[in-house]
Chains A and B, each alone.
Chain A
Amino acid sequence: MTLSTLQNFLEVFSSLFQERDVITADSNFRELEEWSSMQALIVIAAIDEHFGITIPERDFRAAQTVSDLHQLTLKQ
């Protein structure tokens, strides 16, 4: 699995939301209108599918922005 670029990651992340046009790398995703515990699972599953990385639960909970999540995909 190749490492994702931030741009590539942002595209995958945004595609999971209706409000995709307002999402940037610096967006606090927890403040998105559509955010919910289910949406968190959808994001975790999509990152796993596209980048081959299952983000540990504690790391995911600490992340705030899309860019934070992207960093976590590079860490493993």
Chain B
Amino acid sequence: MSGLVVTGVRMVGLSAAVPNNREDNQELDSLSDKAKNEIIQQVGIRYRYVAPDSITASDLCESAATKLLSELNWDAEDVGLLVFVSQTPDHLVPGSATQLQARLGLPQSAMVIDVNQGCAGYVYGMSIVSGLMKAYGIPKALLLVGDTITKMVSREDNSIWPIFSDAGSATAFELDETATEMNFKLGSKGEDFKAIHISDGGFRSQITSKSLIAENVAEGIVRQKNQLSMNGQAVFTFGLSTVAKSILEMLEEQKRTADSFDYLVLHQANQLLNNSIVRKAGFKPEQSPSSLSNFGNTSCATVPVTLVSQLSEQLRNGHVNLMLSGFGVGLSWASVTLETENLVCPEMIYV
């Protein structure tokens, strides 16, 4: 299927927040020197932000949203739609979107929705928010996207503990007839869902005492069945084939070339993978900024974290032509092309 096009909706600002607790892979004693070198040089991740028990994804998003509302001079009472994208909500029941409505002071009449999405979740969330705004004529909306994936990862899992990091974000949209179109391309490949998944803890396989036993899965990998597992090679192959192909199809459908974009902002999981996708999709390396070294893989928040940490100057001052692309857990992927103009984009927030 070709793209989903939304017109008349404008992104007006975004912000991002991380917990003020940085860990350094160089100091991770569980890793060999060789493994440290691979993680830092090849995967590209030096620092990660790890939320303490007291801070959840909704807290990080709330901080980002509070700052953004203030800088936009928006009255929270005017926000008619809030979408919270996360795999790490405050509670299993209820979702966190209703609590965010109350904490941010949104009106009780606002439409508020939880979305369980990960690496593709920022762009997926943009498609949901902009589509609903247009369908219902909602003038102002907030997209909150964040995760504290470190809370679901075993510290004794050397295959993924050095990779994941926590962050939240807030992005504001307005109905505006003069806005240029946002053109989305979404995809799913559910048969490969086990490539990134947690076995126990949902309702297909409920938690039992066995779920909590730390198992030696492979050398350097000790985890419980209620903790995250990832088949890195399967995800890498997926990115290399499906995601690169999808971006090329998008260019073809829109009859555009890579050089018509200022930036291609990719989900930040692995620098080698991103370098390969950039090459295959015909972009230049300098078109694709990276926040991996300083912020790690923040799950659904990698795209806004990269926009805020690497491109805030450009986004604040003038016109930017963007392609954003997220991919991973699901497996799913989502890309969008859009133009921004003088965004409100405060500096990274440390909570």
Contact = CB atoms under 8 A, between A and B. Distances in A.
Interface of A: 36-38, 40-42, 44-45, 48-49, 54-57, 60-61
B327 to A, nearest CB: 14
B43 A45 contact: no
A44 B233 contact: yes
A8 B232 CA distance: 28
B279 interface: yes
Chain B interface SS verdict (over half): helix
A38 B38 contact: yes
A37 B233 contact: yes
Contact of A48 (B35, B38, B270, B276): B276
Contact of B237 (A36, A37, A49, A55): A55
A11 to B, nearest CB: 20
25 contacts: A36-B34, A36-B35, A36-B38, A37-B159, A38-B43, A41-B42, A41-B233, A41-B270, A41-B273, A42-B42, A44-B233, A44-B236, A44-B237, A45-B272, A45-B275, A45-B276, A48-B280, A54-B240, A54-B241, A55-B237, A57-B231, A57-B233, A57-B234, A60-B237, A61-B233
A72 B227 CA distance: 34
Interface in B312-348: none
B279 A41 contact: no
A37 B232 contact: yes
B234 A48 contact: no
Given A37-B232, A37-B233, 11 more contacts: A38-B39, A38-B43, A41-B270, A42-B272, A44-B236, A44-B240, A45-B240, A48-B280, A56-B237, A57-B231, A57-B234
Contacts of B39: 38
A53 to B, nearest CB: 10
A44 B241 CA distance: 11
Nearest to A52: B280
Nearest to B234: A57
Contact of A40 (B233, B279, B280): B233
A42 B35 CA distance: 14
A36 B240 CA distance: 19
B267 to A, nearest CB: 16
A40 B35 CA distance: 13
A45 B278 CA distance: 12
B27 to A, nearest CB: 19
Contacts of A38: 38-39, 42-43
A49 B272 contact: no
Contacts of B276: 45, 48-49
A48 B233 contact: no
A48 B280 CA distance: 9
B287 to A, nearest CB: 18
Contacts of B231: 57
A48 B239 CA distance: 12
A56 to B, nearest CB: 7
A37 to B, nearest CB: 6
Contacts of A55: 237
Top 9 A-B residue pairs of the complex, sorted by shortest distance between their CB atoms? A38-B38, A54-B241, A57-B234, A57-B237, A45-B276, A54-B240, A41-B236, A57-B233, A38-B42
Contacts of A54: 237, 240-241
B325 to A, nearest CB: 17
